[in-house]
Amino acid sequence: MMMNAYHEMYLRSAMNNIANMFDYAINEFGFGSDDFVPMFLGSGICRRLENGEPSVMVGICGEELAIRVIEETTGLRPEAEIDEMFYRRPDHWCGSVICYYQWLRNISYRELFDIMPYEEILSLYRTYHEADISGFADIMDSARAHMDEETNLKRIRSAYGCSQSELARRSGVSLRSIQMYEQRNKDINKGQFATIMSLANALGCRAEELFE
């Protein structure tokens, strides 16, 4: 049976703290999610939250968590006059469901964002913010199962006996793009025709064989 990341008694507090952390970092301190998410993942605060340390679950507020992440990763302490919130913004919901799924499946936050990037999770707000949180968990489970399936690109590359780096060198397609296609973080079906043809030529296959 799968174990949760930490005791359920801390979950509600952790969800509120992480929700406030993302909300304040993005909406009060002015960091874009593309900036703050990597900062969070590279911080000690992230690992302490994953491990369920009470000092960051219940011993500190979400605003201070955001400040500590920013200070730890940039060396600068953000200055902002924080207004008390009387409504929940989309980033607050996003932080809350992110925390819940990490707890539920006992995975790292890095793994979670590999399954679904922050902005894609945020795009679900309009449809799911008033629904039961289990609906969000079902979506993440489905995305996780889909991600675990080998892409055609990875299957053909492996059969060809070619590493990602070698394929990048032979095709002229960046290593990062190849990684993102294989991790399904980029949709190869929407890739530029010249890119797909370059990959297909390097692998000795037809372009359509690489589509999902």
| Residue with more model confidence, 145 or 152 | 152
* Alpha helical stretches, state H, the chain: 11-23, 33-41, 44-50, 54-57, 62-74, 90-105, 109-115, 118-122, 125-128, 133-148, 152-160, 164-171, 175-182, 193-203
Give the chain's largest Cα–Cα span: 60
Is the pTM higher than 0.85? no
Measure the CA dihedral 20/39/145/106, to 10°.
Answer: -60
96 pLDDT above the threshold of 70: yes
Average pLDDT of the segment spanning 88-95: 93
Look at residue 84 and tell me whether its pLDDT is greater than 70: no
CA distance 61 to 56: 8
Domains along the chain with CATH numbers: 8-148 (no CATH), 152-210 (1.10.260.40)
Average pLDDT over the chain reads: 91
pLDDT at residue 183 tops 90 = no
Grade residue 13 by pLDDT with cuts at 50, 70 and 90.
very high
